Structure 1
């Protein structure tokens, strides 16, 4: 019974967030692109290889290449060959990519804050703690 209710609520929250992000990020950004930009900006590295995105995006190398092609065409990222090993391609975020990433994060923050504001600060912390327990179990 609890699992069914959890599944129903999780699905609703996930659907609401996906729909909101899809609508608000368009036409210049997608959620997958936002994830790539966040990884580039906040991973502690200035550049990453395309293969670094495969696991995080839970997709295939071909799909990552297609995503990066679109991002490069839109000016969100640039790709450059490694100076020492030309087989390695590095992905870097551009100024436009940084701006779009910040915009995307703000959109998500406002949406989540609107949901979380329905409960007290204490319950917000408790919710995050409990979700952390479930996610890391």
Structure 2
């Protein structure tokens, strides 16, 4: 069945990517941390609230707090209280966080280029197009 074959291939690619990223990002960064840094660096705003990350990381507020605690301890982000409403905490990427994000993006880009390099440029475009259709993007 095509769905079983798709699931098998998707699982393998996802597993290979996760394993590669875990190995190459370690010990200074995790994939979840890289996602937070990407969101901070490439969103339309300079700062985000911790609750803004929930929809992108598909996790709980408590897990986000733990993740941000580790990132702050590692010097990847800074957190500041809002001057007008002290209940609001703003998360901002640090210089070290920018460097680590750039490193992580290069690692992922290199991995994906190696995978996609197995097929022609035309088929790469077709694959992205078809995956976009499947994902309703």
**With structure 1 as the length reference, what TM-score do the two structures score?**
0.99
Q: Measure the CA separation in 2 of the matches of 1:120 and 1:17.
A: 20
Task: Compute the displacement of 1:54 (Å).
Answer: 0.7
Q: Which runs of 4+ in 1 moved over 4 A?
A: none
User: Could you say what secondary structure the match of 2:101 adopts?
Assistant: helix
Task: Compute the displacement of 1:5 (Å).
Answer: 0.3
Number of residue pairs matched by the alignment? 137
Give the match for residue 75 of structure 2: 75
Q: Which structure 1 residue ranges, 5 or more long, are not aligned?
A: none
Q: Which structure 2 residue ranges, 5 or more long, are not aligned?
A: none
Give the match for residue 14 of structure 1: 14
**With structure 2 as the length reference, what TM-score do the two structures score?**
0.99
Give the match for residue 98 of structure 2: 98
1:47-88: CA deviation from partner (whole Å, max 9, x where unpaired):
000000011100000000000000000000000000111110
1:5-34: CA deviation from partner (whole Å, max 9, x where unpaired):
000000000000000000000000000000
